[in-house]
């Protein structure tokens, strides 16, 4: 979808001429002193050190903001809201002011440390191809899948590694498998609300072609003939792509997203467009709330809500999700699926809805770690249609051991409120795999400052909805929902956005220092701001099921890998998966 599509059918609200204003925060925010002329070396060691200048001094306590203040600030920013919207902004903006104050109390980065975003003047970037023998190596496991089960449910819940072997050996046809999944999608979508559009005709046609190719000896690889589901923010030619949001419910693109094209080339069979929280947030969309297959009274979390729910419920062989800040990690935690968030830039986002151009990532959601590796191998690769695309080889091996690998963790992560006994048990299980666990020192920095970049980009991505009041069409209208979040993000000062971006670069250097002696990290998925930080630094993550809570719902834990080293991440994840031995348990639908 082009940048103009979201506003093409909307009449601009002329009164909302965009002008960011710092003045709105004068009543309560604190001001930082100007920087001095002290010269600082711009290297990796210096980058993690605070500026030598003294930290800013507090200029008073953050005061509550009234609806009247918001109304006055609108004149400075060139926007206009309703009385009800002003009341909601005033009630919820206090947390935003506290985050700004935290950043202002933190020592400024060295002067030589620029923003994380690097300007590239090339409008169309040419591929910087590596030699053919450096494209990467993919080694599948050699495990025998055993005989094809007689029960369709057993087939439906099998991992891709087994499904692929059965199809390759022609013990199972793609047409048979496609019908199994189409049937389950129809039967279980009612309670789960995870399907937006069923792609029956397309799926049957592609499955028949896959079977014909395999019969003729043309086997494309381990995804050939495997049905999958797409998060409904990936464009599909002639099939509506709604972004889960009311303003776009009738949107039908005329071309496929890059990931859809790559999976078509791999021979995979698209069977459904799956639900997402509207505009990639939460699990609520225009059709209702997507539910957790393990507990229908509970949402599946988001925003890759349908992708995780459908995969956990055996309704697809695998699915594709996206993540900006936890949208693969969180639903995989809730639904007990395995989610691989690749390094930023490894997978093309061309044809995918943009929420945050500098943060969005596309990755697989599967039932097992090796499945994720096989899917990533299919969707990996440079694409000139995505300005952030990076040409890097992918090395994946399911046959390598863990001897010599060093895994970092912070004891504080496993002792705090964001950890439980299942997390600590997973750490001990990992110790038994042969990796060397290394305690790390995680800086006590105001990481939530990084949210400012996400908010500014997201508000910019959907400026058209705010300007035209079409944000009112979204079902979720609470204070923490997108409509109000977009509105209040107009009042983040430009200076704060730039300082958050510089702090982001500081975090990148910090993570680089950590990974100079580590192959990966492990932690409770949301402890220590690890999810927020690693999303902003672009590092890959792998979330796997670690066990079950007292209420019978699954729990997960997350590994963070080095940049472009998903292979090592998957090796560690596979070993931990085998040691925990909990992934085969199924929800009772």
Asked if 327 contacts 216 with a C-beta cutoff of 8 angstroms, the reply is no
Least confident of 107-111, 141-145, 474-478: 107-111
- Residue 86 shares a structural domain with residue 207: no
Query: Average pLDDT, stretch 475-489?
Result: 96
Find the helix packing angle between 369-379 and 566-580, rounded to 10°.
160
pLDDT at 399: 75
Q: Which tops the pLDDT comparison, 4 or 179?
A: 179
Q: What is the CA radius of gyration of the chain?
A: 24
- Return the pLDDT at 135: 59
Q: What is the pLDDT of residue 76?
A: 79
347 shares its domain with 479: no
- For the ranges 167-171, 288-292, 402-406, the lowest mean pLDDT is seen at 402-406
Q: What is the mean pLDDT of the chain?
A: 87
Range of the domain at 185: 138-440+518-580
Stretch 139-152: mean pLDDT:
92
Place of tokens 């300005």: 387
Beta-bridge partners for 338: 366
Number of residues in the chain: 589
Q: What is the mean pLDDT of residues 206-233?
A: 98
Q: Beta 284-285 vs 288-289: how paired, if at all?
A: antiparallel
Q: 292 forms bridges with which residues in the sheet?
A: 295
**Angle (nearest 5°) at CA 286 between 280 and 289:** 75
Mean pLDDT, range 146-172, rounded to an integer: 98
From 458, 484, 509, the end of a domain falls on: 509
- Specify the pTM: 0.85
Q: Are residues 209 and 334 in the same domain?
A: yes
Q: Over range 522-550, report the average pLDDT.
A: 97
Q: Report CA-CA distances (Å) from 402 to 152, 406, 411.
A: 36, 9, 22
- Residues 6 or more apart from 175 whose CB is under 8 A from it? 204, 207, 208, 211
Both 362 and 425 in one domain: the answer is yes
Check if the beta carbon of residue 529 is closer than 8 Å to that of residue 442.
Answer: no
Is the predicted pLDDT of residue 197 greater than 90, yes or no? yes
Residue 275, domain CATH: 3.90.1300.10
**Which of 509, 536, 558 delimits the end of a domain?**
509
504 shares a domain with 363: no
Residues forming the active site? 231, 303, 327
Q: Are residues 471 and 341 in the same domain?
A: no
Same domain, residue pair 107 and 145: no
Same domain, 430 and 326: yes
Closest CA to 558 of 314, 326, 347, 291: 326
Q: Is 50 exceeded by the pLDDT of residue 126?
A: no
Does 408 share its domain with 466? no
Q: What is the pLDDT of residue 142?
A: 83
Residue 96 confidence (pLDDT) above 70: yes
pLDDT band at 19 (very low <50, low <70, confident <90, very high): very low
**Residue that wins the pLDDT comparison between 23 and 391:** 391
Provide the pLDDT confidence category of residue 58 given band limits of 50, 70 and 90. Answer: very low
User: Among 12-16, 137-141, 385-389, 472-476, which is the least confidently predicted range?
Assistant: 12-16
- Hey, how many other C-beta atoms are within 10 angstroms of the C-beta on 26? 12
Residues 242 and 475 sit within 8 Å (Cβ to Cβ): no
Let me know whether 279 and 377 are in one domain: yes
CB 457 within 8 A of CB 357: yes
Domain identity same for 165 and 210:
yes
């Amino acid at each position: 979808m082009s940048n103009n599509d979201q506003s093409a059918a909307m009449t601009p609200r002329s009164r909302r001429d965009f002008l960011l204003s710092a003045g709105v925060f004068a009543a309560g925010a604190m001001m930082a002193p100007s920087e001095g002329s002290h010269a600082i070396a711009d290297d990796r060691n210096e980058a993690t050190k605070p500026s030598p200048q003294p930290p800013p001094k507090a200029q008073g306590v953050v005061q509550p903001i009234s609806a009247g203040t918001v109304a006055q600030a609108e004149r400075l920013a060139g926007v206009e809201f309703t009385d009800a919207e002003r009341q909601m902004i005033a009630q919820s903006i206090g947390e935003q002011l506290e985050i700004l104050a935290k950043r202002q109390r933190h020592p400024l980065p060295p002067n030589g440390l620029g923003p994380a975003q690097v300007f590239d003047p090339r409008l169309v970037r040419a591929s910087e191809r590596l030699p053919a023998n450096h494209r990467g190596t993919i080694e599948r496991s050699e495990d025998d899948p055993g005989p094809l089960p007689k029960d369709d449910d057993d087939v439906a819940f099998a991992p891709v590694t087994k499904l692929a072997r059965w199809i390759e050996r022609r013990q199972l046809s793609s047409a048979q498998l496609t019908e199994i999944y189409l049937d389950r999608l129809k039967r279980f979508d009612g309670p789960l609300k995870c399907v937006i559009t069923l792609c029956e005709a397309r799926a049957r046609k592609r499955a028949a072609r896959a079977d014909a190719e395999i019969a003729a000896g043309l086997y494309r690889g381990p995804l050939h003939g495997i049905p999958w589901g797409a998060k409904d923010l990936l464009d599909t030619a002639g099939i509506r792509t709604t972004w889960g949001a009311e303003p776009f419910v009738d949107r039908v693109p005329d071309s496929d997203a890059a990931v859809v094209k790559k999976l078509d080339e791999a021979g995979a069979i698209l069977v459904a467009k799956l639900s997402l929280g509207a505009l990639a947030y939460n699990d609520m969309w225009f059709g209702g709330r997507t539910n957790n297959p393990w507990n229908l009274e509970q949402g599946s979390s988001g925003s890759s809500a349908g992708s995780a729910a459908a995969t956990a419920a055996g309704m697809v062989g695998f699915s594709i999700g996206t993540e900006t800040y936890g949208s693969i990690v969180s639903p995989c935690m809730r639904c007990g699926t395995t989610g691989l968030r690749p390094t930023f830039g490894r997978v093309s986002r061309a044809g995918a809805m943009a929420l945050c151009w500098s943060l969005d990532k596309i990755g697989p959601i599967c039932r097992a770690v090796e499945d994720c590796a096989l899917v990533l191998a299919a969707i990996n690769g440079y694409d000139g249609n995505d300005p952030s695309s990076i040409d890097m080889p992918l090395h994946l091996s399911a046959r390598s051991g863990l001897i010599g690998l060093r895994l970092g963790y912070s004891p504080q992560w496993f002792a705090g409120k964001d950890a439980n006994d299942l997390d600590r048990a997973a750490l001990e299980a990992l110790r038994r795999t042969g990796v060397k666990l290394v305690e790390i020192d995680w800086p006590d920095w105001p990481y939530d400052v990084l949210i400012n970049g996400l908010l500014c980009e997201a508000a910019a991505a959907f400026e058209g909805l705010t300007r035209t009041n079409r944000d009112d069409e979204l079902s979720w209208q609470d204070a923490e929902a997108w409509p109000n979040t977009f509105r209040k993000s107009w009042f983040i000062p430009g200076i704060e956005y730039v300082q958050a971006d510089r702090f982001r670069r500081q975090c990148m250097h910090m993570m680089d220092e950590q990974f100079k002696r580590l192959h990966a990290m492990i932690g409770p998925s949301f402890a220590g701001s690890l999810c927020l930080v690693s999303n902003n630094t672009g590092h890959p993550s792998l979330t796997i099921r670690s066990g079950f809570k007292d209420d019978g719902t699954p729990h997960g834990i997350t590994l963070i890998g080095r940049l472009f080293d998903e292979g090592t991440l998957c090796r560690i994840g596979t070993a931990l998966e085998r040691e925990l031995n909990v992934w085969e348990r199924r929800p009772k639908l």
